[in-house]
Structure 1
Amino acid sequence: MAGFTIERGDPARRQRVAGWLDGLDSVSAETREAIITAWVSAWASSSFETLEEMPYSLIAPSYRLMDHVNEVTRAGIDLSRRAARDWGRETDAEVMIPILVLHDIDKPLLMVREGGAVRASTLAAELPHGVPGAMMLRDLGFPSKVVNTVATHATNAPFHGSTTEAWLLHYADLFATDHALMSTGGKPFYQRHWA
């Protein structure tokens, strides 16, 4: 079970989603509408009443997902510009922006808030982070590079893509993750020691 339904949503919900997402001005109208539909679908399929209630992660449950997504998007855009200018590693905004904006599209489906506490949803025990999001994006007709990058971006994924876009997402995501962790009193990834 995918744990979501594709839903266009009403104009007010679509406007609410469009109003908080950075990067939409860098893509075509068609891609913009598909991104909005993806977020409306995730929101409507989740247990969260508002976008603001959606937590970023179980390791930083008080940090808002909407803030993390925009931080990743802005950092990824900056990194994309540097990679192009400094190393000649070009990306297409029609691919890069959806990857950045949609990388955590399944998080509202993988967590629930009960009695003020955030815990993993039933779906989180069935499918790893990235997979439900990739399934949704495939159903919405996003390019395979977007779908595959979202599917394999999680730090605990068994492998990661070898594209420039996957590499840029990785560092933008970890940069924003460390900010979320430090902002909520957690230990950032860059200070962790792996055995």
Structure 2
Amino acid sequence: MRSLRSMTQPYSIDRGSNWRREAVRAWLYGLDRVSAPMQEAIVTAWVSAWASSSHERLEDMPFSPGTGFFPLMQHVNEVTRAGLDLGARAAEDWGQALDPEVLVPILILHDVDKPLLYRRNGGGAVHTDLYHELPHGVIGAMLLKELGFAHAVVSTVATHATNAPFHGRNPEAHVLHYADLFAADHAFRVMGETPLYLRHR
């Protein structure tokens, strides 16, 4: 049975948990690309999701449900690295420099709600009850809005999922889309699943 807290709110903001903050800070690639206040906000978002989840360790958080397991930690850093590379290409090829205070939080936080949506099950992962209440991205966006992130960050996280009814039109959303799919296909291959680019609708 779900706790009263989970029935009234899917997460709690956690600005403490110093050991969690240290673990999150040590894990995340790209934090050094943003200001100190933005770093703290990003870390608080991940700590809040982690502390509100059933996962004891960051390493236990799955990227996706399935019979195989791929760590969410690895996926997030792969997306961030790919997104920063694509952002540099956008600046050079499109003549459009992307603000790191917008792009970096989008890349690092796009899957911040997954610890609340998936849980380990044997060698793989399954959906939590919350997965059936709100779509992936929406819960993350709710958390980020509460923490005061910019609208571009909130709206992009809310609409980035491949099955979202529409996607953001800002260039950062464009970069996230391709970085996320690139990294996701690597994860699906490792998990023994069909990569997205080979799936037919």
Q: 2: CA distance between counterparts of 1:73 and 1:66?
A: 11
Q: How much does 1:185 deviate? A: 1.7
Question: What does the per-residue CA deviation read over 1:89-131, in whole Å, with 9 as the maximum and x for residues that have no partner?
Answer: 2210000000000000000001123455521111110000000
Provide the identity percentage: 60
Whichever residue aligns with residue 152 of structure 1, its letter is T
Partner of 2:5: none
Whichever residue aligns with residue 125 of structure 2, its letter is V
Q: Specify which structure has the higher proportion of strand.
A: 1
Q: Does 1:187 align with 2:194?
A: yes
Q: How much does 1:59 deviate? A: 4.3
Compute the TM-score of the two structures, normalised by the length of structure 1: 0.96
8 Å contact from structure 1 (residues 2, 132) kept in 2:
no
Question: What does the per-residue CA deviation read over 1:126-173, in whole Å, with 9 as the maximum and x for residues that have no partner?
Answer: 000000000000000000000000000000001001110110000000
* Mean CA deviation greater in 109-118 or 34-43: 109-118
Partner of 1:154: 161
Compute the TM-score of the two structures, normalised by the length of structure 2: 0.93
Partner of 1:64: 71
* Residue segments in structure 2 that go unaligned for 5+ positions in a row: 1-7
Q: 2: CA distance between counterparts of 1:187 and 1:132?
A: 26
In the alignment of these two chains, the number of paired residues is: 194
Whichever residue aligns with residue 145 of structure 2, its letter is R
Whichever residue aligns with residue 86 of structure 2, its letter is L
State the secondary structure of the residue aligned to 1:55. coil
* Residue segments in structure 1 that go unaligned for 5+ positions in a row: none
2:61 to 40, 54, 66: 54
8 Å contact from structure 2 (residues 102, 152) kept in 1:
yes
Q: 1: CA distance between counterparts of 2:179 and 2:120?
A: 27
